[in-house]
Amino acid sequence: MHLKLVLLLACLGLARAGEQVRYDNYKLYQVQINHLQDSQLLRENEQVLKLDTWREARNLGEFSDIMLPPQYQETFESLLNRHNVSYILRFDNVQRMFDAQRPRQRTSSMEWTQYHTLDEIYAWLDQIEKLYSHLVTPFTIGKSYEGRPIRGIKISYKPGNGAVFIESNIHAREWITSATITYFIKELLVPRNPAVRDIAQGVDWYIIPVLNTDGFVYSHEVDRGWRRSRLPSDPTGKCIGTDLNRNFNYRWMQIGASADPCEQTYAGPYAESDPEISQLTSYINNSIPEGSIKIYISLHSFGQYVLSPWGHTAEEFPEHYPQMMAVAKGFADAVYRHNGTVFKYGSSPTILYEVSGSGKEWAYAVKNIIIPYTIELPDKGKFGFALPPEYIIPVSRELTEGFVGMIQAAREIDVL
């Protein structure tokens, strides 16, 4: 198939299995947003120039990370220059970044020096379920649109614990999330640090390493840059997939989501339209004792944020916002003490952007889970979604330390 056609199909999510999408000579720009008109300029040209926004500037003076294909780069640069918008070329060939994430020689056994496939992660889950059957209870919330089981585990050392629920890799291309959470699972099962042993034994952990199984497999086998699910909900048949973190049934499609099936933040034709989300909420509603989940975490990358409700407004804050901030501070302070990495924390619109229909909003407003977060893992844009595999272990250790601080802070205010 001709390269330009493959790239077009990639944008629409229609590339066939075996026809791997490549990002040769795609460039990643950091565009400085000094005026509101600068953001408007990018939005107006997003579809025309096939701009893929990896990260959006929150405040004036900050940078938006924008990827785009070769055929639009000259036009894009001329547009920015004409409007006196400053930019930096971060990478001149995104494919090289993606290639660096794939080992020349794969090992199917689970370790944390490479990014693993869904099959490899599931084979490892099979192993730990047998080795640690006294601690691990497997569960499956259902099947994805393409029929893949969506698997998770519960780790519990004793009855009567409060619980933390974590869903990871809801966005397919955020590989660092499933890599770090599987490392954290290992730490919970074989805790070497007394502080980790404490949070392993004193808390029940429900963890789904890969929620968006179809998208995750597609990102490994076809299109490394894929974000959404694989449900073909576009009535025209042009575009595939839903942004699953806009598909929850709370203030669905109110703000920070798109009704255009070809947009990255497409929220689906209706709330819980995708089986991944309808089955996740059903599992929490029907299979976990009411009130036992004290903390809900949706694990993402990138940016180094701990984001709380409300997502739909920066003018109002939820009743339990002080508790949310106290626990988020515990996470951020623990990571900073570990190695100096800085996480910002606050409600989504006050430090990043407005959003509705997300997991943390549903967890708080519908399930009354008073500590719900979206946690955006490192980095802050140097590599973005193409974080090299040598970062997996350092980021995993940061996350582990952060969870220790989070649980300690939650206990101090009697959440756990």
Contact 351, 58 (CB under 8 A): yes
**DSSP state for residue 136 in the 8-state scheme:** E
Q: How far is CA 104 from CA 14, 17, 175, 236, 386, in A?
A: 27, 21, 18, 40, 16
Residue at 117: amino acid letter: T
Residues linked to residue 165 through DSSP beta bridges, in sequence order: 206, 296
Q: Residue 348: name the closest of 63, 58, 32 by CA.
A: 58
From the candidates 276, 361, 376, 398, which is the catalytic residue?
376
Contact 371, 296 (CB under 8 A): yes
Task: State whether residue 402 is helix, strand or coil.
Answer: helix
Cis-peptide, bond into residue 248, ω within 30° of zero: no
Instruction: Output the DSSP codes for 373-412.
Output: EEEEES-SSSSGGG--GGGHHHHHHHHHHHHHHHHHHHHH
Those residues with Cβ within 8 angstroms of residue 380's Cβ, 6 or more apart along the chain or in another chain = 302, 303, 304
Please provide residue 48's backbone torsions phi and psi, each rounded to the nearest 5 degrees: -60, -40
- How far, in whole angstroms, is CA 21 from its chain's centroid? 21
Residue at 83: amino acid letter: H
Active site residue 319: no
What's the Rg (C-alpha) of the chain? 21
- CA–CA distance, 123 with 153 (Å, rounded to integer): 13
What is the total residue count of the chain? Answer: 416
Q: Would you please indicate which residues are annotated as catalytic (active-site) residues?
A: 376
